[in-house]
Amino acid sequence: MKSKIFNINLVVLISSFLLLNSCGGKLPGADARKISPNPADRVKKNLEEGKGFRLMGAIEKRKGGGNFEFASSNELWRASLDIIDFMPLASVNYSGGIIVTDWYSENQGVGESIKISIRFLSNEIRADALDINVFYKKCKTSLDCQIQKQDGKLRSELTKSILKQATIYKKQNKDKNFQPYIGKIGKN
């Protein structure tokens, strides 16, 4: 019986140690040179950018139904859908972070079509947050087709266009959520 309790305590101790040890990583965006040491300034900045919580005003916003924000609040996701909106979509999964178009042809050549897949590796707006694959299909007959993955100019142009559009959406969202902070922190 004592060995069973000892084993349970040992497992709890090791689990606690591993959990606490894994918490020592760097927080994303937590650069001390860019963040004010004054808590009042940090609260003000977060509230003005719409990242904080305001008790006043929350009741008025709830009166008109619901405010459903999901994929539309992710700038990369919105930009990707806007950039490839001319292509038919085969599969779109926000929770899985992938967009796959169907084969698309603009009568460039007989039996030539293109397919694009976009995988989201991060929600941050940066070049390595997207994994874009471009596939070309060339068919001599309906049964004789060759599919090739190509990393060329189209892939880099898509990445550039998506990042540019996502940056515009992020700025618009930041401007929309900006509300000047009125109040004093820490004073009763």
Q: Measuring CA to CA, which residue among 82, 92, 86, 85 is closest to residue 118?
A: 92
Q: Report domain extents, the chain.
A: 39-68, 74-172
pTM for the full model? 0.56
pLDDT at 31 over 70: no
Q: How many CB atoms lie within 10 A of CB 143?
A: 6
- What is the largest distance, in Å, between two alpha-carbon atoms of the chain? 79
pLDDT in tens, 36-57: 777 777 777 766 666 655 555 4
Predicted confidence at residue 70, as pLDDT, reads 47
Contact by Cβ (8 Å): 80, 99: yes
3-class SS letters over 24-38? CCCCCCCCCCCCCCC
- Shortest CA distance to 119 belongs to which of 152, 94, 153, 89? 94
Please provide the CATH number assigned to the domain covering 74-172: 3.30.530
Asked if pLDDT for residue 16 goes beyond 80, the answer is: no
| Closest residue by Cα to residue 165 from 84, 98, 49, 67 | 84
Which residues, at least 6 apart from 150, have a Cβ–Cβ distance to it below 8 Å?
Answer: 134, 135, 136
Which residues are bridge partners to 119 per DSSP?
98, 131
